[in-house]
Amino acid sequence: MKNQDKQFAGHEVYSPLTLSVYDVLVLGLSNPWLWKCPTQKILDFYNQNISANHLDVGVGTGWYLDHCRFPDPAPRLALMDANGNSLDKAAARVARYGPETYLTDVLHPIPGHIEPFGSIALTYLLHCLPGSLPQKCVVFDHLRPLLRDGGVMFGATILGADVARGVIARKLMAFYNARQIFSNTQDSLAGLEYELHARFDDVQLRVVGCVALFRIRIPGPSR
């Protein structure tokens, strides 16, 4: 592992205990019933966009990487997170791919040289980062040098503004924001669209329930 940085609440919550129940609580319950975006839809999004040279940023438990279909049986896979527990959990889960691991906070420029990737995923990362969308979206500036021309950056984030939410979803989101586990009360589709289009020309966005799925394609030869 490389590049350890100070954590913040959105990352510190991922203790070994939390990670042991994450798949059940988040992927099995919250996604389909509260955020109204079934986990299978996000997995399908992975299958549509992942390359055989992939970086995953904000890795959770590694569930999506464990279940997605890489276009090559022996991909180059890298994991990047500010939480060592998540990195360890995900790396063990996808050990069959021999992943590279980087312990770093992408809110800051990424130090050192890393060979670029054909795809980069940021799944459920943005809503856990502190600050406003303009402050958080600097992660795209920091990750862009790690993406090859012709590559794809994709991901999902839970919106906190201008989306329909049930009573329980609103209360849970308010609780998470009060504890600084989420920082997304002002995160809207329009705000995310503005930040992405300010940086990239080829942007696709759609909303499923409370979740925005985004895909950015960089001009150039095929990845």
pLDDT tens per residue, range 126-156: 999 999 999 999 999 999 999 999 999 999 9
* Within-domain flag for 1: no
Question: Has residue 1 got a pLDDT over 50?
Answer: no
Which tokens sit at 90? 């995900």
Q: Quick check: is 3 in a domain?
A: no
Whether pLDDT at 7 is above 70: no
Asked whether residue 116 is domain-assigned, the answer is yes
Domain membership of residue 116 as a residue range: 9-217
Model pLDDT, residue 221? 83
Please, what is the average pLDDT of the chain? 94
Specify if 222 maps to a domain. no
The number of domains in the chain is: 1
The reply to whether 115 falls in a domain is yes
Residue 77's CB: how many other CB atoms inside 10 A? 24
CB 117 within 8 A of CB 147: yes
In a domain, 2, yes or no: no
Task: Identify the band that residue 2 occupies on the pLDDT scale cut at 50, 70 and 90.
Answer: very low
- Give 31-81 pLDDT, tens digit per residue: 999 999 999 999 999 999 999 999 999 999 999 999 999 999 999 999 999
CATH assignment of the domain containing 64: 3.40.50.150
- The token duo for 27 is 């992927």
Distance separating alpha carbons of residues 191 and 172, to the nearest angstrom? 22
**In the structure, what pLDDT confidence band is assigned to residue 3 with cuts at 50, 70 and 90?**
very low
Answer yes or no: is 154 within a domain.
Answer: yes
pLDDT for 171-223, tens place per residue?
Answer: 999 999 999 999 999 999 999 999 999 999 999 999 999 999 999 999 998 66
In a domain, 209, yes or no: yes
